[in-house]
Amino acid sequence: MLLPYLVTSRARRDLLRLLWADRAEGSVSELARMASVSFAAVHRELEAMRAEGLVACERVGAALVYRANRKHPQAALVRRLLEEGMTASGSPSAPHAEKVRGWLAAAGAPLLVSRRVVGRMPRLEEVLAEGLALSHHDATVARVLPLVLWLQRDRLDHVRLVHETTRRNELQALGFFLELTGRLGGDPRLTALSGRLRDRRRSRARQFFAGPHGRMALAAARRKTPPLARRWGYLMNMGLDSFASAFAKHTGVA
């Protein structure tokens, strides 16, 4: 596995994955929490990345928000290195992924987690936004997200949810899952909310799930993609029946 050999610092690897693969952005303290790394270590790494042009930052209110600089001359090389690392490890950042699964389980997702949530749990809207980002790498998380949205539908702050999701570049994914949940549960409020999120400028479908996609996998996704997913600009080798069976099993709503 080339990534750990070339990048020996775990903090640096996790931050690169968060910023470049997960498309996360945030202040030093927010990224430290996401990566489960100390504030000092994250601050040091972010400043080093900024000096090399790998991250850009801007002031939002009182906070300095960092994000990947996708205009970097070697951006394609960074993405390729991280993609190879994720393929070998199975997840963008194993500690963070397990933490997000724990948060989702605490919010009602039927997920097996290795440890319970320790410390302060983020706001529900942040948990769902993190879950959306993780769902591209974990099909099980994708399958149970409609259940969490359904169970928490009356507790959600929709404005904050859109804000947190936009920060992670997952607004289209949120729209897809909101409409899917509205259909599965028969709640027109969720369907109406999703309609306001759709980016109609997006004409070309892309794979929902991350990872290498060969010709056969792409052909299978094109055959099996539900019309609902395609309408939101996604290809996925997962039918609506997979979402519906998990939803019905844990809600009793067929």
pLDDT in tens, 230-253: 999 999 888 888 899 889 988 877
Mean pLDDT of the chain: 84
pLDDT > 60? residue 165: yes
Domain carrying residue 142: 94-251
Instruction: Report pLDDT for 88.
Output: 45
* Residue 167, amino acid: R
pLDDT > 50? residue 10: yes
Q: Where are the beta strands (DSSP E) in the chain?
A: 55-60, 63-68, 206-207, 234-235
pLDDT band at 203 (very low <50, low <70, confident <90, very high): low
Number of domains in the chain: 2
Instruction: Report pLDDT for 26.
Output: 82
Mark whether 141 and 45 lie in a shared domain.
no
Mark whether 68 and 165 lie in a shared domain.
no
Q: Which of 71, 89, 107 is the last residue of a domain?
A: 89
Mark whether 130 and 161 lie in a shared domain.
yes
Pairing of strands 63-68, 55-60: antiparallel
Q: Which of 43, 67, 89 is the last residue of a domain?
A: 89
3-state secondary structure of 226: coil
Question: pLDDT tens digits, residue range 86-143?
Answer: 544 444 566 788 889 999 999 999 887 766 666 678 999 999 999 999 998 888 899 9
pLDDT (average), residues 28-50: 82
| Residue 112: closest CA among 149, 88, 144 | 144
pLDDT > 50? residue 47: yes
